[in-house]
Amino acid sequence: MRRAAAFLVLLLCLYWTRAQGESGGVTGNDITQTEVQSEILGVIATSDQTNITPDIWAELKELRDMAIKHSVELWKLEQENTAIQARLTASESNNAVLEWKMNASDKEVEELKRENTVLMARMKTSENVMEELKKENTDLQSRVTAFEDKSTVLEVRMNASETEVEELKRQNAVLETRMNTSENEVEELKRQNADRPKVAFSFGLTDDGQVGPFSTDITLKFSKVFTNFGQAYSPTTGHFTAPVRGVYYFSFTTVDNRKSVQSVVTLYHNDKRVLWNQNSNDEHGWNRVSNSLVLQLEKGDEVYMVLHGGYTVYDNSGNHSTFNGILLFPL
Ligand SMILES: *[C@@H]1O[C@H](CO)[C@@H](O)[C@H](O)[C@H]1NC(C)=O
Ligand SMILES: *[C@@H]1O[C@H](CO)[C@@H](O)[C@H](O)[C@H]1NC(C)=O
Ligand SMILES: *[C@@H]1O[C@H](CO)[C@@H](O)[C@H](O)[C@H]1NC(C)=O
Ligand SMILES: *[C@@H]1O[C@H](CO)[C@@H](O)[C@H](O)[C@H]1NC(C)=O
């Protein structure tokens, strides 16, 4: 009985202590108290037969309930702890994986940095090349511009030249036409010239000295031939016969070597006298009669010189007396 009373006092003390703990906040002695309470409960169970008052029993019962509750809570905490331990372990291994991954990432970052450096260097080189190319491009642009300017100038000159060439071609065509016309005309003239009769004569009278005087008029027969193109002058008859209708030129000179006499010669166109020329000799003689004229003759017309009766003319190897004629142009 005395032993039960002593436990009761101890329990009250503990309870008081606990009440103090609750009012002052949770203390680190919770587990120790619970163990003590369990022990108390064991004592209580052994002293179940004692005569303790109902109040004390009620208190004890309350204390037992609290101890059971604490025990449950302790078990729960242990469970939670185990779970947290497992999670910690999982976290740690996870962490190792993450660290490994991190290391891999770091490596990659390093690699990327290295590559980046290399790329930066290449980029720089490229930029330099680009700058160089830009400069060259500008240079080329200005050269191209210069070439274009030159080209324009050349095109203008080319166009001018082409225009000139066209103009020259046109002129050339005109000239070619005129040239062709001229050539045709030349051909025609050549043809006409080839067809044109060549008539020219020049004769000396004689080497035999004085001719005449005669009692009648005679035709002077010039017998010394210088030229006789066309054979139109006949030294046999003394007549020039026109081979074609045309315009002819005639000239003559005669000498009279007698002294103090009159000299007269005449020239005839067919039956018609066209000139009667006279000169008066002094005491020295060697008087000359000379004249020239242009006549239009029909084909077959005759021209000749006549010495009238009583007059004389003279010639010798000196060729003093000559008779000449040419065809100027046919009609
Ligand atoms: C990660 O790198 C560090 C430093 O280099 C090293 O100490 C550690 O062991 C590495 N961890 C793993 C998981 O490779
Ligand atoms: C040159 O002539 C061509 C053709 O006639 C023309 O198209 C061009 O504009 C001309 N150029 C100049 C510079 O006059
Ligand atoms: C000029 O004559 C040449 C040769 O006969 C000929 O080929 C050319 O076509 C002629 N030109 C003209 C413009 O008549
Ligand atoms: C006169 O003409 C003939 C030719 O018909 C010539 O041989 C002669 O030398 C000429 N006489 C003189 C003096 O020139």
Ligand (nearest to CA of 152):
2
The 10s digit of each residue's pLDDT in 308-318 is 999 999 999 99
Q: Using pLDDT thresholds of 50, 70 and 90, give the confidence band for residue 29.
A: very low
Mutational pocket test of ligand 2: of 150, 152, 155, 158, the residue with most ligand atoms within 8 Å of the beta carbon: 155
Distance between Cα 148 and ligand 2 center (Å): 14
Q: What's the whole-number average pLDDT of the chain?
A: 87
The 10s digit of each residue's pLDDT in 8-27 is 555 554 555 554 444 444 44
The 10s digit of each residue's pLDDT in 52-101 is 677 888 999 999 999 999 999 999 999 999 999 999 999 999 999 999 99
| ∠ Cα 189 192 195 (to 5°) | 150
Q: Using pLDDT thresholds of 50, 70 and 90, give the confidence band for residue 196.
A: confident
Over range 40-59, report the average pLDDT. 66
Tokens read off for 267:
């020239």
Provide the β-strand partners of residue 280. Answer: 262
Question: Closest residue (by CA) to atom 13 of ligand 3?
Answer: 177
Q: Using pLDDT thresholds of 50, 70 and 90, give the confidence band for residue 46.
A: low
Rounded Cα distance, 27 and 31, in Å:
10
Ligand (nearest to CA of 180):
3
How high is the pLDDT of residue 281? 78
Where does ligand 2 bind, in terms of residues with CB under 6 Å? Answer: 152, 155-156, 159
Question: Closest residue (by CA) to atom 12 of ligand 3?
Answer: 177
Q: Using pLDDT thresholds of 50, 70 and 90, give the confidence band for residue 252.
A: very high
Residue 98, φ and ψ in degrees, nearest 5? -60, -40
The 10s digit of each residue's pLDDT in 102-144 is 999 999 999 999 999 999 999 999 999 999 999 999 999 999 9
CB distance 240 to 201 below 8 Å:
yes
Q: Using pLDDT thresholds of 50, 70 and 90, give the confidence band for residue 155.
A: very high
Provide the β-strand partners of residue 293. Answer: 250
How high is the pLDDT of residue 28? 44
How high is the pLDDT of residue 25? 42
Rounded Cα distance, 51 and 64, in Å:
18
Q: Ligand 3 atom closest to Cα of 180? A: 1
Distance between Cα 159 and ligand 2 center (Å): 6
Q: Tell whether the model's pLDDT for residue 295 goes beyond 70.
A: yes
Q: Ligand 2 atom closest to Cα of 158? A: 1
Question: Closest residue (by CA) to atom 5 of ligand 1?
Answer: 103
Tokens read off for 105:
């990432």
Number of helical (H) and strand (E) elements in the chain, helices listed first: 3, 13
Q: Which pTM was predicted?
A: 0.48
Closest CA to 247 of 292, 300, 196, 296: 296
Distance between Cα 173 and ligand 3 center (Å): 9
Tokens read off for 117:
């450096």
Distance between Cα 180 and ligand 3 center (Å): 6
Rounded Cα distance, 54 and 178, in Å:
167
DSSP, residue by residue, 34-59: HHHHHHHHHHHHHTTTS---HHHHHH
Helix %, strand %, coil % of the chain (to 5)? 55, 25, 20
Where does ligand 1 bind, in terms of residues with CB under 6 Å? Answer: 96, 99-100, 103
Say which range, 36-45, 66-75, 90-99, 251-260, has the weakest mean pLDDT.
36-45
pLDDT above 90 covers a percentage of the chain that reads: 76
Q: Tell whether the model's pLDDT for residue 44 goes beyond 60.
A: no
Rounded Cα distance, 215 and 62, in Å:
220
Distance between Cα 289 and ligand 4 center (Å): 20
Distance between Cα 103 and ligand 1 center (Å): 6
**Residue 63: CA count within 13 A, CB half-sphere:** 28
Closest CA to 317 of 223, 219, 221: 223
Taking only Cα atoms into account, the Rg of the chain, rounded to an integer number of angstroms, comes to: 84
Ligand (nearest to CA of 162):
2
How high is the pLDDT of residue 48? 54
Question: Closest residue (by CA) to atom 4 of ligand 2?
Answer: 159
Antiparallel, parallel or unpaired: β 200-204 and 322-330: antiparallel
Tokens read off for 186:
């030349």
Cα–Cα distances in angstroms (integers) from residue 34 to residues 71, 83, 109, in the given order: 8, 24, 57
Burial of 136 (C-beta count, 10 Å sphere; 0-12/13-18/19+): exposed
Tokens read off for 256:
């009279």
Maximum pairwise Cα distance, the chain:
239
How high is the pLDDT of residue 19? 45
Ligand (nearest to CA of 100):
1
Burial of 249 (C-beta count, 10 Å sphere; 0-12/13-18/19+): middle
